[in-house]
Amino acid sequence: MAAKKKILYYKTIILSDIHLGTFDCKAEELIQFLLHTRCEKLILNGDIIDGWALKRKNVWRPGHTRIVRRILKIAEKKDTDVIYLRGNHDDFLSGFMPIVLDRIRVEEEHVHTTPNGDYLIVHGDCFDAVTTHSKFLAIMGDIGYKQLLRINRIYNRWRAFRGKEFFSISKLIKAKVKKAVNHISNFEQHLKELAEKRNCRGIICGHIHTAEDKMIDGIHYLNSGDWVESLTAIVENEDGVFQVIDFKQFNALLASEFEPAMSEFALLEEA
């Protein structure tokens, strides 16, 4: 007899940088996350659909369709507000924002009210000088990043053969290259200043694929990471406290009370 599916309840869930339409989107993992969570508000903070990648090559997979179907199903239940914020990779949304599609609101930014104060939520690409001022260079950088992810896949097949865990080369480069570190630092500083101007306690963004939860000069800075390498989300509990949770932590929470008897494929197909 199959065990009852465990559901984790949160007040708010924030996801960004899913990059549907790319080879490296971790669709199966995200489906598991969405199937086992419920929330009052789901915020999709940009780069959900990768329009840049789809223009170059169509790699839309069945798992990507399942994610879209799952999000629509969440909206249909009418107990969750779904907010979709534009990112740079899904900038095709810019032509008709803001707009309400049944229970899905498509916006440029969103102010989220918590018991502890307001949080401004934006994708964050407006503070990336390359993305803002030179789309050609941004696209070239994106192509380079995709090639780096391809090298990651090949390298990690070898690591798996040797019985070793996954290792991200691109994350190592971000951590070690001074220019990349300075870029992230400047990005965070600009967002902190925006939160101050808007009289918000904190700011929540995505874009740079680096999950974070920290204080910057009295402003709470949160970054939701991505579903390409980090596999992270931001969740808000009933008391208004945010935390960054990754897919390993999520699985540990599920396993803490029961071991699912159903296969992953069966869960994916569950309504």
Tell me: pLDDT of 248 over 90: yes
Is residue 151 pLDDT above 80, yes or no?
Answer: no
Strand 8-15 and strand 232-236: pairing? antiparallel
Q: Residue ranges of the domains in the chain?
A: 10-269
The arithmetic mean of pLDDT across residues 137-150, rounded, is 59
The number of angstroms, rounded, from the C-alpha of 21 to the middle of its chain's C-alpha atoms is 14
Span 81-93, pLDDT tens digits: 999 999 988 888 8
Task: Give the model's pLDDT for residue 134.
Answer: 47
C-alpha–C-alpha distance, residues 171 and 167, integer Å: 9
**CA dist., res. 182 & res. 187, Å (int):** 8
Mean pLDDT of the 196-212 span = 94
Query: Confidence band (pLDDT; 50, 70, 90) for 46?
Result: very high
Report the C-alpha gap between 200 and 223 in whole angstroms: 16
The model scores a pTM over 0.85: no
Q: Please say whether the dihedral angle defined by the alpha carbons of residues 153, 159, 160 and 165, taken in this order, is positive or negative.
A: negative
CATH of range 10-269; options 3.40.50.2000, 3.40.718.10, 3.60.21.10, 3.30.470.20: 3.60.21.10
User: What value does the mean pLDDT take over residues 216-245?
Assistant: 95
